[in-house]
Structure 1
């Protein structure tokens, strides 16, 4: 049975709802950081978030703890999408943290981001089992920004791996590149930094969905946002 809060939303609707709460939509997940002075405080922040989400948080809320921050993520895991329930949980968690003088942030020196590894292949069905075997990655529902044959880390720590269809062999570039998913307001600064570090902007035709850059030896990476994908 599907409830109203389970309905998938457009990326624009999600961003409009969570940006004022200092969460950001990145690759089908809404993410925020809570900056703290110690590991104890990071654990306290997660405890508050879990308590605020209650049983509704199961299958939606995940957390990562370091000595300097708690990273909170929300999406409907069974759907591979952000739903109305996730937006409600973001509000509840944010309000509960604020009541304890803890603040959600998305624009500090280390903003939320997600890394993907894209592998170009002539025969995806042939190479995919190798990458699944060597990484130990699993099949799970994918965000709409990833193709259905993507693989994910079962521990939720490593980058997603997805496969890009090639029509013919090519030798002028690597077959593997990184996609770096950032909040839209951080994309230009990341591009500028890459160019200042000796990179080249190869293609901005799909911007603001993604920009293709290359390092001084031609290896490529993309800076990606949710915009332009609805």
Structure 2
């Protein structure tokens, strides 16, 4: 199942989102790992075809949905405890990540500091058949600047099946599969969603290629993250 975004107001969704293709980084782009997948930079408005493709099916699995949310946020509540009052008492606080202004993508390899581009999380260590059933990640933009979440329109299972046509069933979909998919010339589109401070998202980051971004912003942004199993629409949305 590809990227599915929950929405009630198509105009509000269009105002939040842009779409583009991707490219692989070169070896001379020292800030990135070689072959990392990043936006092409040619962002455009969502077309009718795009809207149709990201509209959830009639009976979607909550674990595969993306929701644009505005969680009730009280600064006096420690971040470690905040999400437990937001629909999943068993959610896990993953920590915070700060991004500098005007970063095309934000996630780095902690071992050497190089940026990794679009990637898959692997907290739940799920194999191919179960990759769609992982926990979703809740992100809250703490500011001071806006940020984006970038999401692949093609899911991890489809990518893995395309690059390993005879052995996909025995694999654990990985970021390397995304890089191989793009390197082989497969079409790969992305959508980015703008998030102001105090706004956030719920997304299946084990299932969808993704990364953060502060591109175009003169301000840094810090995000807080949790992992859990939030039911659909348990948090207030605004699209």
TM-score bracket, normalised by the shorter chain, equals under 0.3
TM-score by length of 2: 0.24
TM-score by length of 1: 0.25
Higher relative CO (Cα under 8 Å, sequence separation at least 6) belongs to: 2
Greater Cα radius of gyration, structure 1 or 2: 1
